[in-house]
Chains A and B, each alone.
Chain A
């Protein structure tokens, strides 16, 4: 069973539109990481959330963590073609672990058309 569900699986938006990607965990979250991947390339770290209610922003991307709902959302404002790619969330389920093992969702494929 998939412990980390991402929705939607794919998203096609017009340039300039806002969008939201969700990541829901079936297990307790001790940290939630967001990464972006271009097809055939490695993952690029976007941001990491640890505390319930925490919100972080970088340029036009904002991520929030709802600890009670065990859910995180990634919001992109005024999307641009450069935002296109696969967005993956990775969850830290092991409290106090020094390894920092992450469990990943299946990813959301974002297409932004001009």
Chain B
């Protein structure tokens, strides 16, 4: 079955530690995205990538970093510089092009930093 996997589902870290969230897709999509969701908020874009070895900052990139070494994988690192890292993180992918393609979402990772 094609889809997007995110691991782990729940992640706990101490303040000051970096943590990496995994996102893998087998949909053969070129575009991948990372969003952050806070209670009562919509999704806010952190980073996105349209092609391997290329990515751009979204609206709230400060304190985060990404890599795109393989088409299937787009890991997100939450660094100690991120002031409020506790949130629900969603990864998505989409076929590139101007067609009416939807974004497919992973199940999410809930990160708690104490």
Contact = CB atoms under 8 A, between A and B. Distances in A.
Interface string B31-55: 1010100001111110010100000
Contacts of A102: 103
B102 interface: yes
A102 B33 CA distance: 10
Contact of A40 (B48, B104, B110): B110
A40 B111 CA distance: 11
A100 B33 CA distance: 11
B24 to A, nearest CB: 14
Given A40-B108, A42-B105, A106-B40, A101 B98 contact: no
A15 B41 CA distance: 27
Contacts of B40: 9, 106
- Interface of A (DSSP majority class): loop
Contact of A43 (B6, B31, B94, B105): B105
Interface residues of A, number: 26
B105 A50 contact: no
B90 A42 contact: yes
Contacts of A99: 31, 48, 50, 96
A83 to B, nearest CB: 19
Interface of A: 4, 9, 31, 33, 35, 40-45, 48, 50, 88, 90, 96-102, 104-107
